Amino acid sequence: MAQREVIEHIDDLTGEVVDDVRTVRFGFEGLDYEIDLSGANASEFMRILAPYLRKSRRVRRARQGASNSLPASEVPVTVKRSWLLENGFAVSKAGRMKLEHHEAYAKAHS
């Protein structure tokens, strides 16, 4: 017995089956969205947003669960070295830091 699998692309806005579906991803008020639209509806969506996008600033999205402080692995070595010196660790003023110094900083700031 032969089988035929049919894939239909549906415009999420109209519910119509279309040949030229496009997934449009966007963000609004801190949430991410996506919608599958026909080429015509995707163009209309972009036309409506265009004046707002022209006046907007692009921003990088924060990682989920990120806090205002950097993880210890991303803190500049100069900042770590200053903290270590202020807290009594014998650290050179230049060059590579020992692993235990990185770990001490991370432990104190976790």
CATH number assigned to the domain comprising residue 17: 3.30.60.230
Which of 69 and 2 is assigned the larger pLDDT?
A: 2
What is the pLDDT at residue 64? 54
- Asked if residue 78 belongs to a domain, the reply is yes
User: Which range, of 4-18, 32-46, 84-98, averages the lowest pLDDT?
Assistant: 84-98
Residue of 22, 33, 26 whose CA lies nearest to 49: 26
Average pLDDT over every residue of 81-85: 85
- Asked if residue 63 belongs to a domain, the reply is no
Q: Is the domain of 16 the same as that of 48?
A: yes
pLDDT band (50, 70, 90) for residue 72: low
Strand ranges, E, within 15-96: 17-18, 21-28, 31-38
- Asked if residue 21 belongs to a domain, the reply is yes
List, for residues 32-66, the tens digit of each pLDDT value. Answer: 899 999 999 999 999 999 999 888 888 776 555 54
Domain that holds residue 80: 72-108
Average pLDDT over every residue of 5-24: 91
CA gap 9, 13 in Å, rounded? 12
Helices 99-108 & 77-86 angle (0-180, nearest 10): 80
What is the b/e burial string over 45-78, where b = at least 16 CB atoms within 10 angstroms of the residue's CB?
beeeeeeeeeeeeeeeeeeeeeeeeeebeebeee
Q: Which two tokens stand for residue 72?
A: 């210890």
Place of tokens 């040949």: 19
Percent of the chain with pLDDT over 70: 87
Average pLDDT over every residue of 71-100: 79
**How many domains does the chain contain in total?**
2
